[in-house]
Structure 1
Amino acid sequence: MANQKVLTIDTINPNVKTMEYAVRGPIFKQKNTHIYAKQYPFKNVIKANIGDCHAMGQTPITLFDKW
């Protein structure tokens, strides 16, 4: 009995099986289609909504342990 799996593909919540990563859902797809369909007074669009600060040029935070 101790070796029996409790969580399997059959016992997992069906909502977990069908969930989507938020920034890859319909809002993200819609943003990409409509942003290029219009003319804007700027040349570049940054994707700051997904929290990828390194893609925006922020220096990675590095912690050094002092021995």
Structure 2
Amino acid sequence: MKRVISIILVLPFFLTKANPQNIVVEGIIKISESKEILPFANVHLQDGYLGTTSNEKGAFKIIIPSAI
């Protein structure tokens, strides 16, 4: 039986300007039911072509260039 884990992005989740050309999205991924950190999870923008993987502490950072 396949179990689906739903996750939520928990603070800190920020949209900040790294410089005038880029937007930075960063946060920590946790399992919604247990609030456990979810390491090495894939994170991507909705269109799917820009993403990253969270580290062993569940933290991730995506830099979005203004050219998108």
TM-score of the alignment, normalized to the shorter chain, above 0.5: no
**TM-score, structure 2 length as denominator?**
0.21
Q: Specify which structure has the higher proportion of strand.
A: 2
Q: Specify which structure has the higher proportion of helix.
A: 1
Q: Which has the larger radius of gyration?
A: 1
Bigger relative contact order, structure 1 or 2, given CA contacts below 8 A and separation 6+?
2
